[in-house]
Amino acid sequence: MRVLFVSPPYPKDKIFRKSMKNLGAVLPPLGIAYIAAMLEKDGHKVRIIDGPAWATVLGYGFKELEKDISEFNPDVVGVSASTSQIEHAKKTISIAKAVNKDCVAILGGTLISADPNSLLGFEQVDFGVYGEADLTFSEILKAVEAKKPVEGMEGVIWRENGSVKFLKPKTITNLDQIPMPARHLLKMDIYRPSPANFRRVPATTIMTSRGCPYQCIFCSRPTEGTAFRAHSAERVVEEIEHLVKEYGIKDIQIFDDTFSLIPSRVERICRGIIEKKLDIWWNCMTRVDKITPELLKLMKQAGCYEIGFGIESGSDRILQFIKKATTTDLVRKGVRMTQEAGIDVRGFFMIGFPTETREEVLQTINFAKELDVDVAQFMVSTPFPGTEMWEIAKANGTISDDWSSFTFYAPDKMPFSSNLLSSDELLTLYKRAYKSFYLRPKFIFKQLFKLRSLTDVQRNWLAAKGVLGL
Q: Write out pLDDT tens, residues 175-232.
A: 999 999 999 999 998 887 766 667 788 889 999 999 888 888 888 664 556 689 999 9
Residue at 244: amino acid letter: V
Confidence (pLDDT) at 405: 52
Residue from 315, 413, 398 nearest 354 by CA = 398
Angle between helices 86-99 and 62-72 (to 10 degrees): 40
Instruction: List strands edge to edge, sheet with 163-166.
Output: 45-50, 2-7, 76-80, 104-108, 127-129, 156-160, 163-166
The segments of the chain whose pLDDT lies below 70 read 11-25, 83, 194-197, 220-226, 396-419, 450-470
Record the pTM: 0.86
Residue 460: Cβ-neighbour burial (10 angstroms; 0-12, 13-18, 19+): middle
Pairing of strands 251-254, 209-210: unpaired
Please tell me the distance from the alpha carbon of residue 76 to that of residue 126, in angstroms, as a whole number.
Answer: 10
Confidence (pLDDT) at 17: 44
Confidence (pLDDT) at 414: 58
Pairing of strands 76-80, 2-7: parallel
**Residue ranges of domains in the chain, CATH in brackets:** 2-166 (3.40.50.280), 195-468 (3.20.20.70)
Determine the straight-line distance between the first and last CA of the chain, rounded to whole angstroms.
Answer: 47
SS3 210: strand
Confidence (pLDDT) at 415: 60
Confidence (pLDDT) at 18: 47
Confidence (pLDDT) at 175: 94
Dihedral, CA of residue 93, residue 96, residue 100 and residue 101, to nearest 10: 20
Query: What letter does residue 404 receive in the DSSP assignment?
Result: G
SS3 173: coil
Query: What letter does residue 47 receive in the DSSP assignment?
Result: E
